[in-house]
């Protein structure tokens, strides 16, 4: 029985340590995920700026075409002026020239406005490109570090699982079940010390007779309040 209790204590110690190592593993994985999410966020901003630049570039190209057409119209109308015979026709052509000039000018000022926005978008994108490149470099280096530590962590966990299997194998099936059930129901603490007449798992007082019996009875006993398996180290 003392051997069983010792096994249970060893198992509890191992499982507590294992939980800490698993937390370490999760912390590493979480950090990697956070780094990746940040890179995705930056990439999303770069992509969105590239999209805006592309749309604006298309709109600008359209305006450039319109302006070229209006300039052609101006030239064509102007070239007709020398052949004009009547005053009425002359006025009409001049009006055409005037309208085409006005449209060309409007296109030019729209192009100027687009250029201004484009310039600021391109500058924004260049800044975000740099930020993304720097963050990618940092994240890659950090992820490689985490990967290296995770290799060690995983190795440690595998060794713990192996050792755990050995402990479990040596326990009677019923005790093993009680242990596993308590681990699940009592937040990973199934085996606790009883000291000063109390269970250190739930801090409730144990019946004095029962507490005293822990020092003499060769049987694994449960706390009547929290059901955890109890051990004692030295008489008070």
Nearest CB to Zn ion, comparing residues 100 and 226: 226
Residue 194: phi, psi to the nearest 5? Answer: -110, 125
Minimal distance, residue 210 CB to Zn ion, in Å: 11
Tell which residue, 163, 167, 227, has the closest CA to residue 199. 227
Nearest CB to Zn ion, comparing residues 150 and 189: 189
Minimal distance, residue 235 CB to Zn ion, in Å: 20
Nearest CB to Zn ion, comparing residues 16 and 109: 16
Minimal distance, residue 8 CB to Zn ion, in Å: 15
Nearest CB to Zn ion, comparing residues 156 and 186: 186
| Integer Cα distance of 215 and 97 in angstroms | 112
| C-alpha torsion angle, residues 62, 66, 72, 77 (rounded to 10) | 170
Binding interface with Zn ion (CB under 5 A): 199, 201-202, 223, 225-226
Nearest CB to Zn ion, comparing residues 46 and 223: 223
CB contact burial 74-90 (16+ within 10 A = b; e otherwise): beebeeeeeeeeeeeee
| Integer Cα distance of 29 and 73 in angstroms | 66
Secondary structure percentages of the chain, helix, strand, coil, to 5: 80, 5, 15
The separation between CA 155 and the C-alpha centre of its own chain, rounded to angstroms, equals 25
Nearest CB to Zn ion, comparing residues 66 and 183: 183
The residues with which 229 forms a beta bridge, in sequence order, are 191, 222
Minimal distance, residue 200 CB to Zn ion, in Å: 8
Minimal distance, residue 187 CB to Zn ion, in Å: 13
Minimal distance, residue 47 CB to Zn ion, in Å: 57
Q: How many CA atoms lie within 13 A of 17 on its CB side?
A: 15
């Amino acid at each position: 029985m003392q051997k069983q209790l010792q096994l249970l204590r060893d198992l509890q110690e191992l499982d507590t340590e294992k939980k800490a190592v698993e937390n370490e593993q999760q912390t590493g994985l979480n950090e990697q995920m956070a780094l990746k999410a940040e890179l995705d966020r930056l990439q999303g901003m770069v992509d969105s700026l590239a999209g805006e630049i592309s749309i604006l570039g298309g709109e600008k190209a359209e305006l450039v075409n319109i302006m070229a057409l209006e300039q052609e119209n101006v030239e064509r109308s102007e070239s007709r002026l020398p052949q004009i015979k009547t005053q009425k026709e002359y006025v009409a052509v001049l009006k055409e020239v005037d309208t085409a000039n006005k449209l060309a000018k409007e296109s030019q000022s729209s192009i100027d406005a687009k250029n201004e926005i484009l310039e600021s978008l391109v500058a924004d994108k260049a800044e975000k490109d740099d930020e993304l490149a720097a963050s990618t470099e940092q994240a890659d280096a950090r992820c490689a570090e985490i990967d290296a530590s995770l290799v060690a962590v995983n190795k440690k966990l595998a060794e713990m699982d192996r050792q755990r299997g050995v402990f479990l194998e040596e326990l009677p099936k019923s005790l093993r079940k009680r242990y596993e059930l308590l681990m699940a129901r009592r937040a990973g603490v199934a085996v606790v010390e009883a000291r000063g007449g109390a269970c250190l798992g739930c801090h409730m007082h144990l019946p004095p007779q029962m507490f005293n019996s822990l020092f003499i009875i060769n049987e694994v006993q449960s706390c009547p309040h929290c059901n955890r398996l109890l051990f004692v180290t030295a008489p008070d």
